[in-house]
Amino acid sequence: MNTATTQFSGVSVWALVPTMSQIIHEIAQKYKLDGHPPHLTLVYDIPITTEEEGKHSISNVRQRFKKLCDSLRHSEAVSLTPTHMESGISKLFGHGYCDLFFEIKEDCALSCLFQTTMDTMEWDKKKESFFHKPHACLAYWNPNTLPEEQTANIQQDILELYPELLAQSFLIEEVALWSTEGTLQNWTQLDSFPLSSD
């Protein structure tokens, strides 16, 4: 298994996109990668301490997430329109990736979801946000164990498997609080909240 060994930290809030599950699963099977939940990262690396109280306690983070859920209670599922794909080696984290990027406009529902999440979770890294480049990762891999020649054409391979990928739309149906401490295998969902699809 070509496991991405990158170490992440803290807690993240994801926008879940269940309709991408099959795509990610089939890519993982083709390249012998670890699968992962299909998501857009809204905020990441929220620090957690072992203290029972305080801003960085897990109970405080959970309270902020509950407040976020309350603010989204009457929100509808958010539609995503793909624009392009990118693949390579992350300069920040060191793993290989293939990402699907989505259109975002200043007054659109996705923009509002990002802003509401960053504000409610009191996130301190807004300059490092994915707000201006929202994307879902289709694949992670370890570049030390998966040769470059096997991933050089990954975008082309994916489009051959899914020729309509860039022409279809996807729905964000849920927001979720995840512990992203450690490697991919260590990540666990802490809480979630569905968006209305009515």
Q: How many angstroms separate the first and last alpha carbons of the chain?
A: 40
Q: Which residue, 160, 155, 70, is CA-closest to 116? A: 70
Residue 22 pLDDT grade (very low, low, confident, very high; cuts 50, 70, 90): very high
User: Model's pTM, two decimal places?
Assistant: 0.88
51 versus 174: the higher-pLDDT residue is 174
45-101 residue pLDDT tens: 898 877 766 677 889 999 999 999 999 988 888 999 999 999 988 887 788 899 999
The predicted-structure confidence for 89-148, as pLDDT tens digits, reads as follows 888 778 889 999 999 887 789 999 999 999 999 998 877 888 889 999 999 888 887 777
CA quadruple 84, 97, 173, 157: dihedral, nearest 10: 60
Helix (H) or strand (E) holding 135: strand 135-141
Check residue 171 and give its pLDDT: 94
Q: In the prediction, which pLDDT does 6 show?
A: 59
- Size of the chain, expressed as the number of residues it contains: 198
**3-class secondary-structure state, position 86:** strand
